[in-house]
Structure 1
Amino acid sequence: MKKLLAFLIAGLVWLSPASAQQVLKVADPNGSTQYRNALTALYKEVGLVPEFVSLPGERALRSVENGEVDADLGRVTGATAGYQNTIELSEPIIEIGLVPVVKKDSPWGKLSLPDLKGKTVGAVRGTKMAEGAMAKLGQEPVLVNTSQQLFQMLAAGRIEVALTTSTSMPSAEELVGAKVLPPLFTSKAVHVLNKKWATLAPRIDVALKAMKADGRWAKLMAAP
């Protein structure tokens, strides 16, 4: 009888929802090992497992909105404006800089956002930070689909400034003949969830705060 009872208890524990880790599909436009490792550790704190899906930036948010994926790894605060089925978490995961890149022989050593007024500026489609910044100037950037296309246009002189973010910096190969200038500005980035997972948001925020407080988050974000 005791053996039967023990077997039943073991079976109930195995079937318990608390013992199973929920898997969430997470869109990651950048494919950064560093950020993926950090989010994996964060999810583990609340019994979640991320399944990363590489998607272009604009499509990634649309995929969270329509439920094709469950979350987006990180977006600048306010980037989900206009989306009805997404929520931004409260605790920022990182600060992102909007970085201008120019040709190596350019006279510019530093640029501010107002300096871009009237210049031909390019960005990868879906980089909301760049699109929003240019909208403030009353201009539209030249949009391309890939980072490679963006820096090919810069090298060919078809644009004067290429805008990228500090979390999606171009490769050394793409930067041949170019120079990276200091960020125009920085903004906080947050994790984004589809609304069906809204109950998870407070738990993830609390776990992230705890990891920041004990230094674990900083170590994960500083790892190569």
Structure 2
Amino acid sequence: MRRLFLILLMCISWLPAFAQEPGVTRTKLILSQREDPLARYAARISAEAFRRSGIETEFRTLPSERALQAADSGQTAGDQVRVAGLEKLYPNLVQVPVPMLNYHTVVFTAGMTFRIDGWESLKPYSLCILRGMKLAETATESMDRTIANDVAQSILMLKAGRCKVAVLGYNAWPEIDRMRAGPLLSLDPPINSVPLYLYVNKKHADLVPSLAQALQKMQVDGFTSGVLNEMEQEIQAARQRNAMPAR
């Protein structure tokens, strides 16, 4: 009996060690995922960073602004592919300091061309801007603009003539393809290119160092570039099917 008791005691003492093994999933978190063609690929990068930190994830798809609000209020554990500095507007969010990817903001038109030279070059035109696309919202605040709820609505408004210019991500081409909304013209160069980041609600701020380390390692071992290469192939194929020849 004494021997059995000692064996049980040893087994119990080993449990904490097993619970702390690297890679063991300890919990599950729900992250915001905005309604955007970029989101499917970003979710794979985010999920892998959390997995390497021992956390399983699920994603809740929401309109862009609601996705941010859900993360800030704690309804979700965080949000992804967002510009730096959002903690000024959403004080409960904490930025993971390693970029997930670079985001190119592009001007789409139904055929009109003009010279792109920063945000001020958009001033003469009526614009469609995505709600929750914070950089574009701020840069065009004094301009003639209509706020669209998602990429599809912005494209439909452009096609219907409700705006002359749609300000979207370069990654909008797959959505244009899905909608069969081509041909459209995207003007070069991009009006803006910025790194985008993962954010977590401050309740999960303790995860930031491990998530940052995971994102760095994913850049080195090729995981992130593999996902982004897949995304680029999809974008280019959609663009070839839907792009209006440059004039």
- Shorter-chain TM-score bucket reads 0.7 to 0.9
Worse-superposed segment, 58-67 or 210-219:
210-219
Does residue 143 of structure 1 match 2:147? Answer: yes
Superposition pairs of residues 23-102 of structure 1, within 5 angstroms = 23-29=28-34, 30=36, 32-102=39-109
Shift of 1:53: 0.4
The answer as to 2:127 corresponding to 1:127 is: no
1:114 and 2:117 aligned: no
Name the structure 2 match of 1:22.
Answer: 27
SS of 2:176's equivalent in the other structure is coil
Contact 2:31–2:77 (8 Å) recurs in 1 = yes
The question of whether the paired residues in 2 share the 8 Å contact of 1:76 and 1:96 is answered with: no
Cα distance in 2 for residues equivalent to 1:155 and 1:34? 27
Q: Displacement of 1:217 after TM fit?
A: 2.0
Q: What's the counterpart of residue 218 of structure 1?
A: 225
Q: Which stretch has the larger CA shift, 158-167 or 146-155?
A: 146-155
SS at match of 1:28: strand
**TM-score normalised by length of structure 1:** 0.86
Offset at residue 115 of structure 1 (A) = 1.4
Indicate the percent of aligned positions where both proteins have the same amino acid: 24
The structure number with the bigger radius of gyration is 2
CA distance in 2, matches of 1:212, 1:79: 23
Match of 2:159 among 140, 148, 155: 155
1:142-173 deviation line (CA, Å, top 9, x unaligned):
10223222222211222110011234543213
Unaligned runs of 5+ in 2: 232-247
Query: CA shift at 1:14, angstroms?
Result: 9.5
Indicate the structure with greater helix content.
Answer: 2
Aligned length: 219
Given that 2:105 and 2:168 are in contact with CA atoms closer than 8 Å, whether structure 1 keeps it comes out as: yes
Q: TM-score, normalised by structure 2?
A: 0.79
The answer to whether the 8 Å contact 1:148/1:174 transfers is: no
Contact 2:110–2:185, Cα closer than 8 Å, also in 1: yes
Gap regions ≥5 residues in structure 1:
none
